Structure 1
Amino acid sequence: MKIVAKPIEVLAVFSATGEIRPYRFRISSDPHMQTIRVDRIVHVEEKKVAGISAIHFDCRSQMDEQEIMYQLRYQTEDQRWILFKI
């Protein structure tokens, strides 16, 4: 996977216990926006890297008849989503 560290728009679901789960996200790629549905969350881990607390989601999705792996990060302090690796 390649590091891209790109801010993204995410539609997420919160459980009754407060757990967060990304459902789909949009990423801008010239010249249009692309929406990707999160098909499977493989691993979730809370980490603090370089002083920034974040929840790391290792995910898989089908895109153009091909399975892709990527990592989404939710930065808890500033409530931002990042497509970190793809």
Structure 2
Amino acid sequence: MKIVSKPIEVVCWFEEDGSPHPVRFRIKNDDDTKCTIKINKVMFTDKEKFAGNPILVFNCLSLVNDSEKFLELKYEINTCRWYLYKI
């Protein structure tokens, strides 16, 4: 997997305890077009800290350009920001 670390727009749903579940996301390409990618399956979720900030890490399986790829999405809990970290 290649590290990308780009901010993304995410559609997700939240459980009563506040834990998010991503459904799909939109990323801005280099030519300023936007691409929407549906998350087929969340393989597992992990928690980590980066510079003292709590982060949720989602390892997902998605269909990108007609091939299945593993993705890693990161959600910063304090700022409510999503990032496509690895693809």
Structure 2 residue aligned with 1:57? 58
Structure 2 residue aligned with 1:33? 34
Deviation at residue 70 of structure 1 after TM alignment: 0.8
Structure 2 residue aligned with 1:9? 9
Aligned partners of 1:24 and 1:77: how far apart in 2?
A: 21
Q: Deviations over 1:20-57 (max 9, x none)?
A: 10010000112410000110000101111222210000
Aligned partners of 2:64 and 2:73: how far apart in 1?
A: 16
Q: What are the ranges of 5 or more consecutive residues in structure 2 without an aligned counterpart? A: none
Matched, 1:69 2:73: no
Code of the aligned partner of 2:8: I
Q: What are the ranges of 5 or more consecutive residues in structure 1 without an aligned counterpart? A: none
Code of the aligned partner of 2:4: V
Deviation at residue 83 of structure 1 after TM alignment: 0.5
Aligned partners of 1:34 and 1:70: how far apart in 2?
A: 15
Matched, 1:82 2:87: no
Deviation at residue 18 of structure 1 after TM alignment: 2.5
TM-score with structure 2 setting the length: 0.91
Displaced runs of 4 or more, over 3 A:
none
> How many residues align structurally?
86
